[in-house]
Amino acid sequence: MPFSYIKTHLQQRADDALLRQRQLISHSTGREITVNTQQYLNFASNDYLGFAADVIQHDTGIALGSNSSPLVTGYGIEQHQLETYLCELMGFEAAMLFNSGFSANNSVLKALFHDKKTAQESATFHDKLNHASLIDGGLHSQAAMIRFNHNDMQHLQSRLEKSSAKHKLIISEGVFSMDGDQAPLAKLKELAKQHNAWLMIDDAHGFGVFGNQGLGTCETIKPDLLVITFGKALASSGACVLASKELVDYMQQFNRDYIYSTGLSPLITNLTRQRIKQIVGDVGALRRNRLADNIDHFKKQALAHKIAVMPSMSAIQPIVLGCAEQTLEAANKLKEKGIWLTAIRPPTVPFNTARLRITLSAAHTHDDINRLVSELKAIL
């Protein structure tokens, strides 16, 4: 029977406790979420600063759609203003907006090594825990793809020394989405310089949260390519690639995602620029301090109750249980207690590292965190 494998593969996923299913959300903030009319404390959101509940006043005359790709008629004043503002903030020559972080990461790598002859002289060096968008981009580019052990600079150095590639690109995340730890950016930058390589950083989970101004893990250390996304701390959508003018000009010639996609919404772009101004202002500073206090409180409470969390200083605080079935069962038990937590299972994370991925927000109170820890202690 044609396509009979679909039913078989779905059943296999279910048998392995790995079946993914969407949940219909009727309301969600950094602190609370309503699923099928049931309200929960939300510890599964990337709304790190609690901006999702905030309404931004805007000019109703701004169009919702850009109506075309950026290289046709879909690049307007709103997109230009956001790109210019980000360049000024981050210290880059040029920028280009994308509809998602996945599209930005994936397409930049494919475009950079699209030429077969150039690709034969090129290699990408990926942290083994890089996001799927980066891994997919590496796999679908024509350059050699080399992976190094997570945050292991000696292993990376060994890989670089053994490579005869003319064009080397080191790729990592500022804050890793599943472990919550940070990349050693200063050492990565140093190795890139030593080996005449470029450095690309995806700072999706760092932008807005880290740095004195909230400009992320790359606030003081500039990579050659920086990708920031707007769907986490900014509570918006879309992404931006920042780099040299020459590289952005190159992307406009060869990046198929950018060339053949409708441009990012002018309305979303305008609201995102307003949100970034909040991030770098007093409101953002206040919320970053509140988030830091919540992270510290959670870690102290977890330690006091002997709950083993991974060594993360970010809002992402994973508890690795290993078994996918047990992790899913724990998440369901927490839901019964009114706490919404995601069971992260393979292939999102390596096998035998299934985990409860706790994400904290500035919107949480200490009482919320105390309740979470109490319920975790009861079920673990």
pLDDT tens track for 104-124 = 999 999 999 999 999 999 999
Helix ranges restricted to H, the chain: 5-15, 77-90, 101-112, 116-119, 132-140, 153-162, 185-194, 245-254, 256-259, 266-279, 282-304, 324-336, 366-379
Q: Give the pLDDT of residue 59.
A: 74
CA-nearest of 305, 320, 288 to 369 is 305
Catalytic residues: 46, 131, 173, 177, 202, 205, 232
Whether the per-residue pLDDT at 96 is higher than 80: the answer is yes
Residue 267 · residue 66 · CB < 8 Å? no
Q: Which residues pair with 229 in a beta bridge?
A: 239
Phi, then psi, of 145 in degrees rounded to 5: -115, 120
Whether the per-residue pLDDT at 60 is higher than 90: the answer is no
CA-nearest of 348, 344, 296 to 321 is 344
pTM recorded for the entire structure: 0.96
State the pLDDT confidence band at 366, using cuts at 50, 70 and 90: very high
Rounded Cα distance, 12 and 172, in Å: 32
Phi, then psi, of 375 in degrees rounded to 5: -70, -35
pLDDT tens track for 26-49 = 999 999 999 988 999 999 999 999
pLDDT tens track for 182-238 = 999 999 999 999 999 999 999 999 999 999 999 999 999 999 999 999 999 999 999
Tokens of residue 199, six digits: 């450095």
Tokens of residue 50, six digits: 């609690």
Rounded to 10°, the helix 266-279/282-304 angle is 70
State the pLDDT confidence band at 12, using cuts at 50, 70 and 90: very high
For residue 334, the one-letter residue type is L
Q: Give the pLDDT of residue 379.
A: 93
